[in-house]
Structure 1
């Protein structure tokens, strides 16, 4: 009898604790996970939450492994508060306790996000069949709470595709190569070995990124060999790089190549090291500004 009474009391407490909670999550029928971006530059795994918004995990090409989670709300926060992020077992797995993963800051009129470690933890919980869930107070009623859950339904296949994409990302970003200085051998249009490696990186990136607006190629020389010859040599160096990019599929209209000869030295021409620094090509790439 005591055991039955205990079960009834627990059920009543659970019912009371759920009162005033607005719950948002996808059920088995409308749960969809998909990889919306799959390239060597960007990987994005998305999950629609009916009547609430979209959950997004994103990783981008970079020298360091990275991951970002963003909760893109249809109705943005109206004030600053905190949401508790918990790992919750689905109803069909009774007896498994939930636990707090982290707190997430909610800033007024901004979609909240979580950084690398927490984002990976959430993905690991989903992989193990748990539901990462966000709990926070309603912005207009302190007595009402909101619960937003990520469903594990149809997660596995999309997650495998996403992990494959992340593993194939470039290990450098646009910022790493947006401004590049290449150096040459003396009285030649041949690169040093370091410059050859850099050109290979730039070429690979240009093939993948179709958003590049302009590629500026500015070539310079040292002061040995005569001004006219140095001007022509710098123009030859710039044009050779432009032709290289065009052969790799870059629209010629987006490439501007110029030779400046002995102008704009950055080091003394009295030393071998200084002359090596002056024999250079500067490649500057621009993307459309984001607003």
Structure 2
């Protein structure tokens, strides 16, 4: 462990001997964690369907609220290498005080591969004159990096948020599922098969206001049934489905315009997990 109180402030960093990386792999997410003694954890988080993110995790944040400087610095065993400034990162008073977006998170990981150390610097929460530094050690990183890549290669192409509420559009007065619609449904099917916590799918058919109401209701039924049949044929349990149809009753745009009618010709697909209450949304 390194807790330095030199002129550059109080630094929290694992020593070379104590540095460890923990990888938690699954098809839904890859989390790579480095414990930082007396501070918390440095976490690289890669969710299915998303890019790499980074955050610090702590039970007590010693950095003051505001902006922390993020630098890529050489390790103590290679001080001749040049540091790199990655700009400022917001600091919040939460259990995850620092979050880094994908572009800089990937830059941080690349730096670790090269033996450099991402470091956050911010004035102390209780002392404006003392900087707090949180440094991620590069020791032993490369030996875990290949495991991380293996985890990423096994991630699903989408996550729950991306498929929990979806829709497919229809052209004119038909119920034909085009190639883009089938591709979207295939992703939903893939996710549902992989996630045993999904207990129900709600399929709701809609139409625009062109034509007679009775015909529109029948058309919305045909569209909803077409989606349900497609997903069941692809291997989903028919008992999971609730299929409904509403005709022109719930427009999401004005039926007075062509663009609005296009948006209203739709089937929505909602996934429900165990012990989760979903809001009604047509």
Gaps of 5+ in 2: 256-260, 278-282
Equivalent residue runs for 1:106-255 within 5 Å:
106-109=91-94, 111-177=97-163, 178-181=165-168, 183=170, 191-212=177-198, 214-219=200-205, 230=218, 237=226, 240-241=229-230, 243-244=232-233, 247-248=235-236, 252=239, 255=241
**Contact 1:37 1:43 (8 Å CA) reproduced:** yes
Q: Which residue of 2 aligns with 1:12?
A: none
Q: Which residue of 2 aligns with 1:7?
A: none
Equivalent residue runs for 1:247-286 within 5 Å:
247-248=235-236, 252=239, 255-259=241-245, 264=249, 281-286=267-272
Aligned residues: 260
Give the CA deviation at 1:75. Answer: 0.8
Query: SS of the residue aligned with 1:118?
Result: helix
Query: SS of the residue aligned with 1:142?
Result: coil
Distance 1:185 1:208, change over 3 A: farther
State the alpha-carbon separation in 2 of the partners of residues 88 and 278 from structure 1.
54
Equivalent residue runs for 1:36-115 within 5 Å:
36-39=24-27, 41-62=28-49, 66-76=51-61, 79-109=64-94, 111-115=97-101
The range that moved more, 19-28 or 67-76, is 19-28
**Contact 1:60 1:66 (8 Å CA) reproduced:** yes
Query: SS of the residue aligned with 1:151?
Result: coil
The structure carrying a bigger helix percent of its residues is: 1
Superposed CA offset, 1:46-99 (max 9, x none): 11111111111123334xx62221111221357423322222222222422333
Gaps of 5+ in 1: 1-15, 269-273
**Contact 2:65 2:92 (8 Å CA) reproduced:** yes
Superposed CA offset, 1:210-265 (max 9, x none): 444642012468989x97x94985785465356347x34x6945x322355x5648
Give the CA deviation at 1:127. Answer: 0.3
Distance 1:186 1:193, change over 3 A: farther
Q: Scaled by the length of structure 2, what TM-score is found?
A: 0.71
Query: SS of the residue aligned with 1:126?
Result: helix
State the alpha-carbon separation in 2 of the partners of residues 210 and 52 from structure 1.
36
Q: Scaled by the length of structure 1, what TM-score is found?
A: 0.69
Q: Which residue of 2 aligns with 1:25?
A: 13
Distance 1:117 1:242, change over 3 A: closer
CA RMSD of aligned residues (A): 4.0
User: Quick check: which has more Rg, 1 or 2?
Assistant: 1
